């Protein structure tokens, strides 16, 4: 039925009868707005109004639903009552069909909700309160074993166990095996790492970052966990006993354990471009002194600005042709510092491969172990130290340190202000580039240091017999 045509026909017939919209509405006991809606085609009269409306306008129901007067020779013989019944039956059938569809959709929603409710009751989301690593048989030699692969946001994670049988995540309701929890989407690798970051912030575990793009190592007195995030794109995850770090000898994250050596090159940053394929890196166009520009990819963790000169420090593991592209492809970028040196003063060292490093500190019992203070971190209360260990030996570093002051040409230990200073038993190993970064806040132990020449002294445990060797780095407070 053409609602517009029917509406115009109703208006025409009403006017022919000399009725206003209000007068017609009064006769049908409806509002004048209803009559207006009919005549404009916005609404159709309810079937119950067909017969009284037609009687008032002196037309047939056939004429009403056709929206025009019908000549006698074309008049359909069906009575108005029969036609109204047929129309009513059609509406009823449509309503039944619509109600059946609504009922079917409601049943489907109930079934889906029931399935979802069952799934959530059987596989609830895990609000991680604790993690439990179950050690393997002590008589079985510990080894690295790939357990399964896990995919999240188009990223593949290979999960490895070392010296453990199971890894469980626990909340207030119970504990769940890692693989099942990941398969059933009760948690994710990112949520597990977020829990560990929270534990680190509370001081319950230690965390160490590696110079490979963002790999993090978490440790407590029993267990260790490695979340790889290398510039090469490796995202492997390792769960194991505390011995895992030393036993793997920095060969995790698909990297070989080789002792790299640092060298420095100075470049001018002429352009920076976002990497749309990797949110953790950028493209940087570099220009050496009297050289050609080259664009390379570096991690976003290095803070650089277009138009400035920077000293880039590298560690390399193999020999290669000396080009900017090769340096960034075959070396590890360790640090980037802004420099204002003139072109004649700029540092552009040759590529060093496995060259022995010597310490200039007076105290140096650990061969090929160098400790430096990270640029920009030294105050009279604290500093961040970077230990470079290229010895290739099995070394373990603790939290212990002491501070000596140079007085009358001799080193004397600074007097402690703490009455009962104690050190925890956590041990650290260097990363695959032979690096370990630690923040030392000595205010609690020595207070605020006055001006003078000082040295930080640390120890390292070497080999299975835990032979203790000392090394140091010097600094001046002015």
- Model confidence at 281, pLDDT cuts 50, 70, 90, reads confident
Residue 222 main-chain phi, psi, to 5 deg: -115, -35
CATH 1.10.260.40 residue spans of the chain: 3-77
CATH 2.40.50.140 residue spans of the chain: 261-339
Using the predicted structure, report yes or no on whether residue 301 has a pLDDT greater than 80: no
Residue 211 is predicted with a pLDDT of: 59
- Model confidence at 73, pLDDT cuts 50, 70, 90, reads low
CA–CA dist 443, 423 (Å, integer) = 15
Using the predicted structure, report yes or no on whether residue 74 has a pLDDT greater than 60: no
Count Cβ atoms within 10 A of the Cβ of residue 97 and give its class: 0-12 exposed, 13-18 middle, 19 or more buried: exposed
CA–CA dist 284, 294 (Å, integer) = 8
Q: Is the dihedral of CA 136, 138, 139, 141 positive or negative?
A: positive
- Model confidence at 271, pLDDT cuts 50, 70, 90, reads very high
Q: What is the CATH number of domain 369-477?
A: 2.60.40.1940
Domain 261-339 part of CATH 2.40.50.140: yes
List b or e across 275-311, with b for residues whose CB sees 16 or more CB atoms inside 10 angstroms: eeeeeebbebbbbbeeeeebebebbeebebeeeebbb
Contact between 281 and 364 under an 8 Å Cβ cutoff? The reply is no
With CA atoms as reference, report the closest residue to 463 among 363, 370, 367.
Answer: 367
Mean pLDDT (whole number) for 341-365: 74
Secondary structure (3-state) at 114? helix
CA 274 to chain centre: 18
> 304: which 2 tokens?
């650089």
Secondary structure (3-state) at 275? coil
Per the model's pLDDT, the better-predicted residue between 148 and 156 turns out to be 148
CA–CA dist 208, 197 (Å, integer) = 11
Contact between 370 and 388 under an 8 Å Cβ cutoff? The reply is yes
- Model confidence at 77, pLDDT cuts 50, 70, 90, reads very low
Residue 85 is predicted with a pLDDT of: 63
CA–CA dist 173, 129 (Å, integer) = 10
Q: What is the CATH number of domain 3-77?
A: 1.10.260.40
Mean pLDDT (whole number) for 172-201: 88
Contacts of 7 (CB under 8 A, 6+ apart): 38, 39, 40, 41, 42
Q: What percent of the chain has pLDDT over 90?
A: 32
- Model confidence at 358, pLDDT cuts 50, 70, 90, reads very low
Tens of pLDDT, residues 196-248? 988 888 878 888 777 566 788 898 878 899 998 887 788 899 999 988 877 77
Lowest mean pLDDT among 78-92, 252-266, 280-294: 78-92
CA–CA dist 163, 137 (Å, integer) = 8
- Model confidence at 332, pLDDT cuts 50, 70, 90, reads confident
């Amino acid at each position: 039925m053409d609602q517009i045509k029917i509406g115009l026909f109703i208006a025409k017939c009403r006017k022919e009868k000399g009725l206003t919209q209000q007068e017609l509405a009064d006769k049908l006991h409806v509002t004048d707005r209803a009559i207006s809606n009919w005549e404009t085609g916005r609404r159709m009269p309810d079937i119950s109004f067909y017969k009284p409306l037609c009687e008032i306008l002196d037309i047939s129901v056939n004429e009403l639903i056709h929206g025009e007067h019908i000549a006698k020779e074309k008049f359909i013989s069906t009575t108005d009552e029969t036609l109204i019944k047929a129309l009513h039956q059609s509406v009823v059938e449509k309503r039944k069909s619509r109600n059946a569809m609504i009922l079917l959709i409601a049943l489907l929603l109930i079934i889906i909700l029931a399935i979802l409710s069952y799934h959530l009751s059987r596989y609830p989301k895990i609000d991680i309160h604790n993690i439990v690593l179950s050690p393997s048989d002590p008589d079985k030699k510990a080894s690295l074993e790939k357990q399964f692969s896990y995919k999240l946001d188009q990223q593949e994670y290979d999960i490895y166990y070392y010296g453990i049988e199971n890894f469980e995540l626990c909340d207030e309701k119970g504990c769940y095996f890692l693989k099942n929890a990941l398969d059933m989407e009760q948690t994710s690798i990112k949520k597990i790492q977020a829990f560990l970051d929270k534990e680190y912030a509370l001081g319950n575990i230690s965390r160490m970052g590696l110079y490979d793009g963002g790999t993090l190592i978490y440790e407590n007195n029993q267990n260790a966990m490695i979340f790889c995030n290398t510039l090469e794109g490796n995202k492997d995850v390792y769960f194991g006993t505390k011995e895992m770090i030393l036993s793997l000898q920095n060969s995790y994250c698909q990297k070989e354990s080789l002792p790299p050596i640092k060298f420095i090159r100075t470049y001018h940053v002429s352009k920076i471009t976002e990497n749309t394929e990797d949110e953790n890196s950028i493209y940087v166009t570099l220009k050496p002194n009297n050289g050609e520009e080259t664009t390379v990819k570096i991690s976003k963790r290095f803070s650089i600005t277009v138009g400035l000169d920077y000293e880039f420090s590298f560690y390399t593991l193999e020999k290669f042709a000396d080009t900017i592209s090769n340096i960034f492809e075959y070396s590890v970028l360790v640090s980037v510092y802004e420099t204002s040196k003139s072109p004649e003063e700029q540092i552009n060292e040759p590529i060093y491969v496995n060259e022995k490093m010597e310490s200039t500190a007076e105290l140096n019992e650990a061969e090929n172990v160098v400790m430096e203070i990270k640029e920009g971190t030294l105050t009279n209360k604290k500093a961040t130290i970077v230990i470079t260990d290229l010895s290739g030996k099995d070394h373990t570093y603790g939290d212990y340190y002491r501070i000596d002051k140079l007085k009358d040409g001799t080193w004397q230990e600074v007097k402690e202000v703490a009455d009962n200073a104690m050190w925890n038993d956590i041990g650290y190993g260097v990363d695959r580039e032979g690096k370990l970064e630690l923040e030392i806040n000595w205010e609690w132990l020595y207070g605020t240091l006055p001006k003078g020449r000082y040295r930080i002294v640390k120890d390292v445990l070497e080999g299975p017999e835990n032979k203790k060797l000392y090394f140091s780095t010097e600094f001046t407070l002015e």
